Amino acid sequence: MLNAQDVLNLSGKVAVVTGGASGIGLATAKLLASFGAHAVLLDINEAEGERAASEIRSGGGSAGFYRCDVSSADNCRLVVSEIESALGRIDILFNNAGIIRRKTVVELEERDWDLVVDVSLKGVYLLSKYVIPVMARGGGGSIINSGSGWGLKGGDRAAAYCAAKAGVVNLTRAMAIDHGKDNIRVNCVSPGDTDTPLLRDEAKQLRQDEAAFLADSARGRPLERLGTPQDIANAVLFLAGDLSAWVTGSVLVVDGGGIA
């Protein structure tokens, strides 16, 4: 039976968060650190990543930063090796890094497709490939992949993103089946429109007024607002810890009812 005082205690855990320099990744790293985990932020933005890790430490948490391009096998392998050498274990992996290009298949250049799929889907595969053996050696762990509502239904002018996120959803299920024997749980959190730099960049890509775009993104949801990075971080916290000890292969939609 879970102890009420320990149910969200992540003390002694090492949590790796990709795309950790901003948005959902940073909010999640902060939250996991606040519950005792050592947060390892991975991002290609070195300056912002270092600043984010410093911010967590200034707030009393434990955190570090590594520059990592999740689309590079060599980079992922090296970074995971360095983390294991420095910290001895990885208990939580939040595969959060992603990118979107708001284009149809006709509008997409091949390089756009490759970029979105390499970061948003291949990156999940690569980090997991190198982290899973480390987790297994440590007795198990929890992997949370970042999906999207558009991984469960279609969206306009986002063909590569929809394809990549749908791939993440079923990759999650396959990983859960393969690695349960190692006491590794694998789940997917699928956000709806969340107020992040990524969402605001979509307005620029579509050449729309940012305020109007954000208002339109919130319109029609039963809860009548955009998500916040904290909303998604809360869901990741649940999937990372013992409250979800018998949850694996699941997709948790956090979207204010957007696809209800």
pLDDT for position 2: 64
CA distances in angstroms from 143 to 57, 132, 149, 150, 175, listed in the order given = 24, 9, 19, 20, 9
pLDDT for position 133: 98
| 144 Cα distance to chain centroid | 7
Read off the pTM: 0.96
pLDDT for position 106: 98
| Phi, psi values for residue 54, rounded to 5° | -65, -40
pLDDT for position 135: 98
Q: In what order do the strands lie in the sheet with 184-191?
A: 62-67, 38-43, 14-18, 92-95, 141-146, 184-191, 251-254
* Contact present, 100 and 158 (Cβ < 8 Å): yes
130 as an active site residue: the answer is no
pLDDT for position 5: 65
Residue at token pair 């050449």 = 207
pLDDT for position 4: 62
* Contact present, 203 and 209 (Cβ < 8 Å): yes
Tokens of 154: 């279609």
Cβ neighbors of 72 (< 8 A, separation 6 or more) are 126
pLDDT for position 6: 75
pLDDT in tens, 121-144: 999 999 999 999 999 999 999 999
pLDDT in tens, 249-260: 999 999 999 999
Q: Which CATH superfamily is domain 14-192+229-247 in?
A: NAD(P)-binding Rossmann-like Domain (3.40.50.720)
pLDDT for position 229: 98
Beta bridge partner(s), residue 95: 145
Q: Which residues of the chain have pLDDT under 50?
A: none
Long-range Cβ contact pairs of 49-52 (< 8 A, separation 24 or more): 49/20, 49/21, 51/21, 52/20, 52/21, 52/22, 52/26
d(CA 104, CA 108): 6
What ranges do the domains of the chain cover?
A: 14-192+229-247
pLDDT for position 214: 93
* Contact present, 176 and 186 (Cβ < 8 Å): yes
Residue count of the chain: 260
pLDDT for position 1: 63
